[in-house]
Structure 1
Amino acid sequence: MTPASSPSPHGQSPLRTVQVLGGGNAASSAHVRSLAAGLVARGVRVTVCAPVEADHTYGFTEVGAELVPVPRSSDPCSVAALREACTHADLVHAHGLHASFRTVLALSGRRTPLVVTWHDRAHAEGARAQFLRLLERRVVKAATVVLGTTSALVDRARRTGARDARLAAVALPGPRPAPVADDPDPMRSKVRAELGAIGRPLLIAVGSLEPHRGYDTLLDAAHAWRGLDPVPLVVIAGEGPQRPVLQRRIEQEELAVRLIGRRDDATDLIAAADLALLTSRWEARSVVAQEALHARVPLVATRVGGIPELVGDAAELVPYGHARALADAVTRLLQDPERRAELAEKGARQAATWPTEDETVAQVLSIYDELTLHRPFV
């Protein structure tokens, strides 16, 4: 393995790359940290352009990357800061639509290769949805390569005009190992006690409180299973504009649902659950689904986007917005421990088929090498 400070083979200087994040959701930020660590270990110079708080959370500099603080997309200084940071880059890799669009503007007039990774699809309605489609078209036509984390995203990029769109190998960094039978997990009991799920099933959902998450359907389902004994406790970890509406319904209908806000221990929450729930209108390579299968926690999810491709037959899939189907699936699983055990085993096997961090870095590095093959020698 070539040290980061050593020249690359064939007399060339180390490859200089810039990774660009916008606000940086959890999935893309964790991916960039994993990618930065792997690239630095292979002798690549990595600069991460991201808000300072993202480095505090994900530690890009801890793995040997240089951080260039770049304001969030709403700041007019962000494009100028990006242009300066990319001045001497051999290749730039942007993550997410808004970061990619700002990078396209920053690289205007330059011939620097641009790789774009779409981790998810932007959610919007009406005029804003049309605006986002225009951004997508501008980005994919400017990008040298577009990587999509699901086949649906790759197809979308091709339909939008991408010259070269490929399926990305994206790993879930550092899954928490599931406890073995003779080594009880004290964290699980601690989390359940904190949430008030002693002696009753615990159902966990994680994600921002926004309309596309489908939490209104989840509350409808919680109303339907109120007759179960004991009544399951639903815990939703996340924050967003729908909190007042959801909280009002929970109180008015006396639902066994708790909104606990944004948490940084989502992995522990999911691992402590009897079931994980994913009720979104659209998902790409869902971190929640991956965490659940890695932790051997049965998953009930909507049959949308990249979910079927990701989980295979290792989860119960239901139509989006169908409260009765969701309630029935959850009720059946809670009453059938053998089926839950079967899903736990299938989940572990499915998770073993997903790309590793090393495979993810290897794929990205091969694309970088392909696009910078004729770099000038030292």
Structure 2
Amino acid sequence: MPGDEVAVSARADAGGASAPLDRVCLLIGQLGLGGTEKQVALLAEGLRARGVDTSVLVMFEGGPHEDTLRTADVPVVHLGFQRRSAGWRMPSDNAAAFLRLVGRLRRTRPDVLHAFLFHSHVTAAAAARPAGVPVLVAGRRSLGDFKRGRPLVSALDAVATRMTDHLIANARAVADDALRDRGVTAEKLTIVRNGLPGSAFEPMPPAPLATRLPVVLCVANLISYKGHRYLLEATARLRTRGVHCTLALAGDGPERAALQRQATRLGIDARFLGTRTDIGRLLARCDVVALASLQEGMSNAVMEAMAAGRPVVATEVGGTGELLRGRGVLVPPADPQALADGIERVLGNPAFAAELGLKARAWSEAHLSDDVMVDEHVRIYRELLGRGRRDGVQPRQRTTGSGE
């Protein structure tokens, strides 16, 4: 990792020792096709490949990453927490599931419990101490916009953060946002970028898509903060300029029906492809990748487009600027005019598009390896364990077997 990316943390290796790392539990809400879920799967597989006994604990439901994890000999444990239509039930409403989590942690005795996203973080913070977990880590994956106007959520997040040993942000923008929270200091925070598997850099045959027009691809779940409505509007503005294209939307979600109605009203060629697992082939088929998000942490969709050598036009939110500055086209959020201008600039200049793709691919190869991501997590875990043992925490006595 470049030095400026980890400067926000205080490194234990500058003045102390690290400790052996035997067992890690990763806690997440579900294993669907989101970016965080993909990174959890990559981290679990990488830890397992390095000889660390790793399991993934799922609060609510599984998903496509489950089979991948089990193929890599990473156990996936369903805890049985229940959602409700109006939102998440707090642990007091899921007493049996919470007790299952505490009991499992007591039996398996992990060195580190690493929680991802808000629900898991709050639950892990409540469970770690009664379970006797030596180190609790939380992954910061997005800006704190979700807490605005929600005092209970803000209070729970603050309490959980105080009970957490270390935070890992996936972008400098996310780290800077976290540092504005009360109780978060630079010593408690490290930046580790998301990683990409080697397969993301391999050439792929293009996916079939019946159109003779240039293809603008957007890979994002159809939820409001991904800004699809602005991308549809930008496509309509391009059409009025005589720049015709096919907009391919890979992903699904609650905004689909409204977006389909908007596309029909605008009279644009928008293809709603639904949930797809062949993103590499879609990237090989497209001419430009566009992302209109109103907020982001570190976008996996942008990273994968860069690895595939595709030119990217995206809104400058969260960590997207860190990825694309000097090797992509950045535009303001919620601005369909700027988005249309950026797409037209790429589609109208093949040499410029090719240059962006080459720069993006070269940078991603140098900076976005999943090996770097996993090794950084191992370093952090070991330093935190070593720090705790220097403060008087004794190594746990292990018994044979994984306790699964």
Q: Deviations over 1:182-221 (max 9, x none)?
A: xxx5x31xx2x3x322x21001111122221111111211
* Equivalent position amino acid for 1:54 in 2: G
Cα pair distance change 1:264/1:355, threshold 3 Å:
closer
Offset of 1:72 from its aligned partner?
Answer: 4.8
Offset of 1:233 from its aligned partner?
Answer: 0.3
Q: Deviations over 1:300-334 (max 9, x none)?
A: 00011111112221110111111111111111211
Aligned to 2:248: 235
Offset of 1:116 from its aligned partner?
Answer: 0.9
Offset of 1:108 from its aligned partner?
Answer: 4.0
Cα pair distance change 1:349/1:55, threshold 3 Å:
closer
Cα pair distance change 1:219/1:56, threshold 3 Å:
closer
Q: Deviations over 1:20-74 (max 9, x none)?
A: 1112453222222222222223222112102563376452222222332223562
1:376 counterpart = 2:395: yes
Offset of 1:84 from its aligned partner?
Answer: 1.8
- Structure 2: tracts of 5 or more residues without a match: 1-18, 84-88, 398-404
* Equivalent position amino acid for 2:76 in 1: L
1:86 counterpart = 2:80: no
Q: Distance in 2 between matches of 1:235 and 1:165?
A: 38
Aligned to 1:66: 75
Q: Deviations over 1:77-109 (max 9, x none)?
A: 432222122112222111122111111122244
SS of 2:55's partner is: strand
* Equivalent position amino acid for 1:33 in 2: A
Aligned to 1:326: 339
1:28 counterpart = 2:36: yes
Offset of 1:226 from its aligned partner?
Answer: 1.2
Report if aligned partners of 1:27, 1:119 keep a CA contact under 8 Å in 2. Answer: no
Report if aligned partners of 2:243, 2:344 keep a CA contact under 8 Å in 1. Answer: no
1:47 counterpart = 2:29: no
Offset of 1:236 from its aligned partner?
Answer: 1.1
1:167 counterpart = 2:152: no
Q: Deviations over 1:315-367 (max 9, x none)?
A: 10111111111111111211111111111111112212324222222211112
Aligned to 2:24: 17
Aligned to 2:291: 278
SS of 2:265's partner is: helix
Report if aligned partners of 1:14, 1:43 keep a CA contact under 8 Å in 2. Answer: no
Q: Distance in 1 between matches of 2:101 and 2:370?
A: 27
Compare 107-116 and 342-351 and name the one that shifted more: 107-116
Q: Distance in 2 between matches of 1:175 and 1:224?
A: 36
Aligned to 1:4: none
Q: Distance in 1 between matches of 2:52 and 2:202?
A: 33
Q: Distance in 1 between matches of 2:65 and 2:315?
A: 33
Please tell me the root mean square deviation across aligned C-alpha atoms, in Å: 2.4
Q: Deviations over 1:92-147 (max 9, x none)?
A: 111122111111122244453101112224664864x4443233212221110100
SS of 1:290's partner is: helix
Q: Distance in 1 between matches of 2:139 and 2:201?
A: 28
Report if aligned partners of 2:217, 2:286 keep a CA contact under 8 Å in 1. Answer: yes
Q: Distance in 2 between matches of 1:154 and 1:307?
A: 14
Report if aligned partners of 1:23, 1:73 keep a CA contact under 8 Å in 2. Answer: no
Aligned to 1:7: none
Aligned to 1:9: none
Cα pair distance change 1:340/1:13, threshold 3 Å:
closer
Aligned to 1:196: 210
Aligned to 2:124: 103
Offset of 1:168 from its aligned partner?
Answer: 1.5
Percent of aligned pairs with the same residue?
26
TM-score (norm 1): 0.86
* Equivalent position amino acid for 2:303 in 1: Q
Paired residues in the alignment total: 355
